[in-house]
Structure 1
Amino acid sequence: MAMTDEELFLASMGDVVPLAKSSQAELTQIKIEPTIAQLEKRKAAEQALSLDVNFLSTEYVDLLNPHDILAFKKPGVQEGVYKKLRLGKYQIDATIDLHGRRFHNARTALFEFIVDCHKDNIRALLLRHGIGLHSKPVPAILKSYINKWLQEIPEVLCFHSALRCDGGNGSTYVLLKKNDEQKTQTKEIYAKR
């Protein structure tokens, strides 16, 4: 007569003896305390993350050709204002050179520059970023991100590649919105009329 699976199992396990307590390995956890240097690094990293209000994207970007013209205008910007910017008619109040900077350094510098300029009532800017002909890993990577970042910044009204005398396609004119102080002054001027 054939044995069932359970009977086979019990028959094969019949002569098995449980291990004695002494033959079991004792596992003890050793807690390694972090060094002072590691604690300081962790603290600095946590502070940097909590203080970073930079919302500029580090995600995918549509790559541009090094010689492409950057051009963008938010809805509601008057055509005359945009044309004046495009033709370089605004007096440039501040300039930043991002040419040759690494990605994260350029991202941080651009964000801080725009925020500071807006806070200080500076509206007409010139960004020098280069055309990126020899950029690694791909040409015009920084220029492509500049194009994306400027569109993400709420203070930016419009931007356009600069005239040749100001850097051509390797530079960009940027016009910022008025800050609250400038808006109040403008309202007061027009209220007196």
Structure 2
Amino acid sequence: MSSDSKLFKDALGELGDVKPLVQERRVTLRKADEPSERMVRERRAAATRRTARDMNPLSGEYIELVAPWDPIEFKRDGVQNGVYRNLRLGKYKIDARLDLHRHSVEMARSAVVEFVRDCVEADVRCALITHGKGEGRKQPALLKSCIKHWLPQLDAVLAFHSAQKQHGGMGATYVLLRKSERKRLENLERHQRRF
């Protein structure tokens, strides 16, 4: 016995009635060698969904359905009432159009993201998305409902409203887009020259 352990035992003996602690039984946990086949499939599916979501910012979660003849509308804070009224009345020149007829929901979602991105790059301020009313379909106004749900999720979209009759009526939507940084600076310079 080493001198340290002898000293320790002598010190315990001076304390009187010392009992060893009762040790609880321990269970040794083993990690599974390989994840199950189901677990691997679930992980791959989750990674695929995450990748698709990163590429396309529009959510595919629950979408509240609208009726085929109901107007859809949205206006971000800061958009002037007169600007929004002119959009509603179809007074702005339509610089770009997207037709979603015969698109599946997934195809439409990708098309909308790409369309808005292209519009911003091309300095388009007012665009028209034709989605149809979906009358007589199993799920009426599905794409229209999706448009109503998706457009507010895109930062470049300032406002939207169902179109006037001559532009497609309740089967189309006017979209007001944010100015590109280049266009904003041009306007700022133009207005500063006036003073």
TM-score, scaled relative to structure 2: 0.71
TM-score, scaled relative to structure 1: 0.72
Between the two proteins, what is the percent identity of the paired residues? 47
1:23 is matched with which residue?
Answer: none
Structure 1 runs not aligned, ≥5 long: 1-41
Map 1:28-47; keep pairs closer than 5 Å. Answer: none
The amino acid that maps onto 1:189 is R
CA shift in 2, pair 1:133/1:119, >3 Å: same
Map 1:70-149; keep pairs closer than 5 Å. Answer: 70-136=72-138, 138-149=139-150
**Does the 8 A contact of 2:53 with 2:59 survive in 1?**
no
How far did 1:121 drift?
A: 0.4
How far did 1:169 drift?
A: 0.0
* Distance in 2, Cα, partners of 1:187 & 1:59: 40
* Distance in 2, Cα, partners of 1:109 & 1:52: 16
**Does the 8 A contact of 1:73 with 1:158 survive in 2?**
yes
**SS across alignment from 2:87:** helix
CA shift in 2, pair 1:188/1:72, >3 Å: same
CA shift in 2, pair 1:95/1:50, >3 Å: closer
**Does the 8 A contact of 2:74 with 2:159 survive in 1?**
yes
Q: Do residues 175 (structure 1) and 176 (structure 2) align?
A: yes
**Does the 8 A contact of 1:100 with 1:129 survive in 2?**
no
Measured against aligned partners, the alpha-carbon deviations of 1:10-54 in whole angstroms (never above 9, x if no partner) come to xxxxxxxxxxxxxxxxxxxxxxxxxxxxxxxx9xx97x9379521
**SS across alignment from 1:113:** helix
**SS across alignment from 2:55:** coil
1:25 is matched with which residue?
Answer: none
Measured against aligned partners, the alpha-carbon deviations of 1:67-104 in whole angstroms (never above 9, x if no partner) come to 11011111111011001111110010000100221010
**Does the 8 A contact of 1:64 with 1:144 survive in 2?**
yes
Structure 2 runs not aligned, ≥5 long: 1-43
**SS across alignment from 2:134:** coil
**Does the 8 A contact of 1:161 with 1:168 survive in 2?**
yes
CA RMSD across the alignment:
1.9
Q: Do residues 54 (structure 1) and 85 (structure 2) align?
A: no
Q: Which aligned segments of 4 or more residues in structure 1 are displaced greater than 4 angstroms? A: none
- Count of aligned pairs: 148
* Distance in 1, Cα, partners of 2:136 & 2:78: 37
**SS across alignment from 1:188:** helix
* Distance in 2, Cα, partners of 1:101 & 1:49: 22
* Distance in 1, Cα, partners of 2:101 & 2:84: 25
* More deviation, 52-61/79-88: 52-61
* Distance in 2, Cα, partners of 1:80 & 1:74: 13
The amino acid that maps onto 1:101 is H
CA shift in 2, pair 1:50/1:111, >3 Å: closer
